Amino acid sequence: MNRRSAIRNVGFLSGGIFLLPYACETTPELIYSNFPLIKRKEQNVIGQICNLILAEDPVNFPTPEKRVDFVLTMINDCGSPREISFLTNGLNSFLTSISPQQKIDFSDLLIEEQNKFIGDQLEEKSLISDFLNLLKRYSILHFKTSENYLTQYLKFEFMPGRYLGRVAV
């Protein structure tokens, strides 16, 4: 092996080592079978919308998964074809109603503008309001199925029929 190719290989190796952490992402992209065209960017937008509708509180109400993962998994696995079409078509019209040329993202807006936009869209009767109501329904379901909500507020017991050993009759 000659010296030039050895130096070139060392350069490629060191460059690859420095670029490897930037090329790899820690979380894999989830692809859903019923709506495979919804990629990570759209999933992030759906997550922002769900958190604006009902804010996540991981300290007081911890859940095993993030809200966006729960919502999309429930729609994918349990949703009717009508709900799936509400999600896909509603998301497309939601993104185009923000900016028809897709120059402005939803995350570029201020929080107040995001809340006002979602509130205005919920008041109208359109495909976007059906989409937002679908996300609202599954966001509330995610909150209501958290363990702390069930045990502290509803006094739900996971094991029915509590055993009380020595009780006066």
Q: What percent of the chain has pLDDT over 70?
A: 92
Confidence of residue 134 (pLDDT cuts 50, 70, 90): very high
The arithmetic mean of pLDDT across residues 143-150, rounded, is 87
Task: Indicate yes or no: pTM above 0.85.
Answer: no
User: DSSP string of 115-156?
Assistant: HHHHHHHHHS-SHHHHHHHHHHHHHHHHHHTSHHIIIIIS--
Q: What pLDDT sits at residue 13?
A: 78
The Cα 47–Cα 53 span in angstroms is: 10
Phi, psi dihedral angles at 107 (to 5 degrees): -75, -15
The arithmetic mean of pLDDT across residues 128-137, rounded, is 92
What does the block give as tokens for 86?
């509400």
What does the block give as tokens for 127?
């495909």
The Cα 62–Cα 76 span in angstroms is: 23
Q: For 16-64, write each residue's pLDDT tens digit.
A: 776 666 556 666 778 888 888 888 889 999 999 999 998 888 888 888 8
**Is it the case that residue 127 has pLDDT exceeding 70?**
yes
What does the block give as tokens for 133?
């109501």
Nearest to 79, CA basis, from 134, 16, 2, 36: 134
Q: 117 CB contacts (<8 Å, ≥6 apart)? A: 98, 109
